[in-house]
Structure 1
Amino acid sequence: MKLRVSAALFGLGILLLVLAVGLPLYVAPAVTKLPYDLEPMTSVAEAKNARFLQITAEAETVTIEVPRADLRSTIEVVPQPGLTKDELPKALRGDAVIWDVYQTVRRTDNDRDITAYSTQLALYRVSGTAAPWEDQWLKQDDSDGTPLGNVEYSGLTYKFPFGAEKKDYPLFDRDLKKTFPVAFVGTETVEGIEVYRYEQQIEEQELYTPEESLQTLLGAFAPEATTGKVIYRNTRTYWVDPVTGIWIDARDQPRKELRPDIGPTTVLLDADFNYTEDTISSTVESVKKNRLQISLVRLWAPIAAAVLGLIALAVGLWLFFSAGGAAGRHSAGASVAGGPAATKVDQDPS
């Protein structure tokens, strides 16, 4: 019986040690990738007393103005597992996922939309960077009628890599449709989680504006001008969980100005968007859940499996030697007991 239990414990110990080695090597990589069945995510940011361009068409009257009001920006990320499976080219299958992303910016006082866009793109599952997918697209409905059209995404878009590092990354800017560095600037704590803070500074750049849209703006704000340009700049700040690469908090400070060749400069957009408290709290809960899953697979489960495996091996070996020693003592005792009895029987009765 002891030998059977010993063999079972020995086998269990080997299995647990194999599991301890296999979890970080084979299972951990799977939990540090964007899953195909990721639940849709929503983030909300608000800008207080923002200045923005609003074009209102009622009947035959078109009103172009730059009012002030509080704005709310809502971004919805909707993963597309079906498209990921069927539409990605062979070279990207297994390494990338397809996301649909929708953003709407609206006034909070009258709930009127100011701008909206939708896009479909492919992201690498580990790095979070945009994958080179030919079918990506971007559609925008601005109040000034400026379309962004098709796009070639590159760099980071909606998340940082799993295992983010203290270094600069290329981050895509949707208005200019190219990447600019987002620099690591320090470590902070948000609701008990240590995060990396990154900042992207985009200095003044001329924003492509179709001639028809430009003339509409000039007619409203600089009627004596013959030409002009729209200048854009932005400062973005991200508080990123380095384990999962998720933005726990974010700040976006865009500014756009119309600069005519004749006449004063007109501010078309000046806003300071910050994640709402509800968005931060929801993101923190998601990060804690994902961190726990990753740490279990990477560290605690392998440690537990290794410790239990060593205990099982030790107990199994002890039982094996214990069973072997008892059998040896029993055999020796039987030989000694049988010696005198045999001698007595063999004695001559006379």
Structure 2
Amino acid sequence: MKRIGLISVHTCPLAVLGGKETGGMNVYVREVARHLGRLGLDVDVFTRRQTPGVPTVVPLGPGARVVHIEAGPQRPVPPAEIVVDLDEFIDGVAAFQRRTDTESALLHGHYWLSGLVAIELARRSRRIPVVQMFHTLGVVKNALADDPSEWVPQVRLDAEARVASQADRIVAATPLERAELAWYCGADDDRVRTIPCGVDVDLFSPGSAMAARARLGLDAQWVLLFVGRPAPIKGLEILLQALARLKADGFDRADLRLVIVGGDRDEGRDDERARLRAMADALGVGAWVDFKGPQPQPALPEYYRAADLCLVPSHHESFGMAALEAMACGAAVVASRVGG
């Protein structure tokens, strides 16, 4: 039986979505693992243990499982700070595979940290092929950053270039991402494949907006929706400024809501949500804005069905899973023309 090793160092596919380091990539890794398992393959998803006491192995479905590897502190850590723990992570993956006699026939890295792990594991063993998906590119984020404090560190840029040059195949979600891989990382186009993301249409499907609003306790006449991490690159300030423009133009109805789904479970640690809340109040539209925090994926279809519009004001998107999920639920989508 062929075994595939998926690597997601910095974030676990089982994590609650919508946090600072959780989102579409978590869903992507989890669903790829599950579907490969259903095809009869054995799949291990290796991720860093972030919670004390979590089982080392957690089943994902037939043939697929998550393997938590101890490396660094057992708490969430910013990706750039995990670099110092990568050797421990690599040693942990290798030790688990030796102990369980489950060496991978193919390694699939997700994000730049995981690409470094996959390249090193392939080097240590016989030449295992490596497939890489970056999900986001640091050089693109730097080009879009309004402030130098938002720039990603050089270690990430160097890592992305190295992984792009050494991976056997690279998956791009869109033609634009494929072009960015060549322009910014020097990736050989012959080794890049464009494979769009998919959506679970059994979960994300149309339904009654009125029933969804009733179940969610939304009594507004007009419901605008944003789903995702409240990070600067997601462009939420554009939505707040648009609401302020509406109000300045004379629209002052009380039954409008901008529902924002996503963010840290602990709002006290969510600096971006606090900034956006303060901005909404300063613009005089705080009463229209409803921060719902992160939601489990099975709860998201109700929000999409309840919405008149799903808004994706991002400054850049590698793909934009929220737009795809919203359309699968029958919601109208207004999005920035910035890739994805």
> More helix per residue: 1 or 2?
2
Which has the higher Rg, Structure 1 or Structure 2? Answer: 1
TM-score range relative to shorter protein: under 0.3
TM normalised by structure 1 equals: 0.25
